[in-house]
Chain A
Amino acid sequence: MSDMEETEGAEGPVARHRVIGTPPPSPRLLGPTAVAEDREAAIVSDEKGFEEHIQGLPPDDPRVIVHASRVEKIVAACFILAFIAGCGFIAAYVGLGVHSVNKTLRSNLALGFSLSVTLAALGLGALLWVRHLMPDVEVVEERHELRSDEKDRKAFGSYFKEGTANSQFVKRPLLRRTLMLGTLPLIAAPVVLLRDLGPQPGTSLRHTVWSPGRRLLVAGTNQPLTPAQFSAPGSMITIVPDGYSDNLDELTKATVILIKFRPGELDIPTTTNGGTLVGTMNWTVDNIVAYSKICTHVGCPVALYEQTTHHILCPCHQSTFDATKGAEVIFGPAARPLPQLPLTVDSSGYLVAKSDFTQPVGPSFWERG
């Protein structure tokens, strides 16, 4: 190999400047060829990395000594830099306070940058050290057989048999079975102990706190609302039930979106599910309709409303509901329309619920039916 290279010495540059698509020069492995080539190359070119042209030279070669002392200085500089940056880190901790956004920003910059420099300098120093100063040792280790030899396998088998026989585990089925019986409850115990992690769901997923006459409050201001106050068509607001405006557990089920339409836009088909009325125009007041805000897919709040198309969009998985048609699904993974909340007005003229939702809100569950 190396002979060939040398006989074609006239093409020396070709050997060094690889043509794209040709195999790379020998990886530095064991082979004396690699050494010979590298030594050759070292004389011709200084542009190559250290390993490629110093590797293989004897340690007392002047070039190696010069190079090593240069690298030593660089490595030491790295470690000194790490020390300085590390001191900077401690200084930044002591000197720079926090307790405000701007101060935190400054502190984070100083701490983070000094820490990064310390770590990077340590890493760089260690890397240069191992790659440039430690001699390139290559060790070949034999792999041992993973499988035990036959003698050991046989011995294991016979010991096992002997032990089993001595224990009489096989011979005495009464003991064996009563032992298993005895441990059985113990195995079940941890599962039983987990029972009190939570209550049984019962019917809690079927109901919300909406009840006949409960007022609709505007989320945020918590003020009741009359149809006249919500007269701008096209807008959508979030509604919470009176008395539960900051009860997150109840709001998770009971929160409602209220949408006002122009006369004639709203066209909710009267739909029933198993004999239960689930959607009708009769539940709207003055072209105002209320739908559950909890997506029927996996429970995200359906917070986006496009006025021109009357589409309600869930930002999580893009289930899209047509607000004019009883929130029927027109795209996405949700399988059911958003439940409609029956609306009416009370004696003071405020919007109130006519009843609870007539079907469970939110994501599907096994017992939903």
Chain B
Amino acid sequence: MHELSVCQGLMRQVEKVAAENNARSVELIRLRVGELSGVEPSLLQHAFEIARAGTIAAAAELEIEGGPIVVKCQECGASSAATINRLLCQYCGEWRVNVVEGDELLLLSLEIERD
């Protein structure tokens, strides 16, 4: 359960961005968490309930978007969807592929209120 550490790091980043933008409060935090990132969105939501207390984002909502895993084949060049433990090219079955989507762990944006 490392989601709490991840979330505490997130809150420090949110507070920093909020301060830079003269926010009175943070209302919405948008994240993108890919399946291959190693972070479980539902646990992150639970951790957020704890981590947001007493911060500028105490009343904020956390919106986590996921998305498909996409790999690009190093052999045939095709892009295809893959599952977390079968990162194979759907067209030629090759395992030498690059993950082009699905391992993101990003703070996308904030919505803030200003004075």
Are A and B associated in one complex? Answer: no
List B residues at the A interface (Cβ < 8 Å). none
